[in-house]
Amino acid sequence: MSEPVVLLDAERRVTWSNSAAKNLFSTRIEGRDFGLFARQPELLAAIADVQGDMAHRRTAEIITSQPQERQWMVVASRIPPQEETRIRASGVARIGPPVVLLAFHDITHVKLVERMRADFVANASHELRTPLSSLLGFIETLRGPARDDAAARERFLAIMEEEARRMVRLVDDLLSLSRIESDTALPADARADLGEVVARVTGTLAPLADEHDIRFVLEKRTDDTLVHGDSDQLVQMVSNLVENAIKYGGEKGSVTIRLEDRPAVTHANGPGENGSLLLEVIDEGPGIAPEHLPRLTERFYRVDTARSRAMGGTGLGLAIVKHIVRRHEGELVIFSTPGVGTRVRITLPRMAATRTAKSPPRSEK
């Protein structure tokens, strides 16, 4: 049995515990009052209820800190006569008759998911409430002081349109993230050409790049750009990365998009017997401080909240990228140096039948 189990007698003394329980409490507990090791009032009250015939079973949630913090659902159950007889027959030494069985169930991951879900709902609500509040404020103003002011009306309508579009972007990203998460367990075993994906994305984002005076540098160092993948999701992945690089990479610079062959290796997310294709998106922006890098793919995490919102960001772009990469059994690594720029590297497994001789490096600008 992998989870801790403890038997208590009528005096709340421990008569038996399995190895998992011994590891949990890190000391000898047999023959001693269980209250010395578990001082959580909720658990002790549950034990008292079961011992006092107030209930056949009670549950309590506790937190332990050694060797690391864990959360447990503890089920305290009265041992029926036939079960007690069976336990006695096992020959386990004990001080007195066991009357209460404590079964510990690790719910740390469940609680973590619950907190993540609650944080997600709270963040999403906050992100939607801000533009909604702005819209309501402008509507009130247009109905009142600015009713007959044509210039103010046009200005306010423009702001209202932008806030509405911001909500649409947020809802679209939330729906995309939900779809991608639901697809994570499904293999992305179709055929996709990452070179064509990059060409499509740069064509679509060319007007945005021109607006920021950004030029694309395409470095295609292999002609073999076929991977296992969902083309639509790969377009979204590359679009999110390139759009971030344009918006946050500074004005009058360049965004480099590199495709490069990688030899067959075994990587963390799965075997790469057929080799891999490396995609890098590199900008020349202000860079990101090291303490922010581990959290960049969290939902709604922003290094600069005001700047992100001003740029039309939803805080979900890299979270979407992370889940797409995960579904494609790839790897995502972000490098950044303040004052130099940011480089996002994605490695995707190749299709088995696409191995070709590596092409000589070439650069397109």
Q: Give per-residue pLDDT as tens, 204-262.
A: 999 999 999 999 999 998 888 998 888 889 999 999 999 999 988 877 889 999 999 88
304-359 per-position pLDDT tens digit: 766 666 666 678 889 899 999 988 889 999 999 998 999 999 999 887 644 443 44
Q: Is the pLDDT of residue 363 over 50?
A: no
Q: How far apart are CA 314 and CA 184, in angstroms?
A: 22
- Cβ atoms of 6 and 86 within 8 Å: the answer is no
Rounded average pLDDT over 173-185 = 76
Contact status, residue 317 vs residue 300, Cβ threshold 8 Å: no
pLDDT at 196: 94
The domains located in the chain, with CATH, are 5-106 (3.30.450.20), 111-183 (1.10.287.130), 188-365 (3.30.565.10)
Q: How confident is the model at residue 360 (pLDDT cuts 50, 70, 90)?
A: very low
Contact by Cβ (8 Å): 52, 66? no
For residues 156 and 162, what is the distance between their CA atoms, to the nearest angstrom? 10
Which pLDDT band, with edges at 50, 70 and 90, does 5 fall under?
very high
Q: Name residue 160's amino acid.
A: M
Contact between 226 and 350 under an 8 Å Cβ cutoff? The reply is yes
Does pLDDT of 185 surpass 50?
yes
pLDDT tens digits along 113-150? 787 777 777 777 777 777 788 888 888 888 887 788 88
pLDDT higher than threshold 60 for residue 167: yes
Q: How far apart are CA 178 and CA 176, in angstroms?
A: 5
**pLDDT tens column, 53-65:** 777 899 999 988 8
Q: Which residue has the tokens 């922010």?
A: 292
List, in order, residues 6 or more apart from 184 with CB less than 8 Å away: 323, 326, 327
The answer to whether the beta carbons of residues 37 and 64 sit under 8 Å apart is no
**Where is pLDDT greater, at 87 or 62?**
62
Closest CA to 320 of 205, 230, 248: 230
Whole-structure pTM over 0.85, yes or no?
no
Verify cis geometry, omega within 30 degrees of 0, for the bond prior to 67: yes
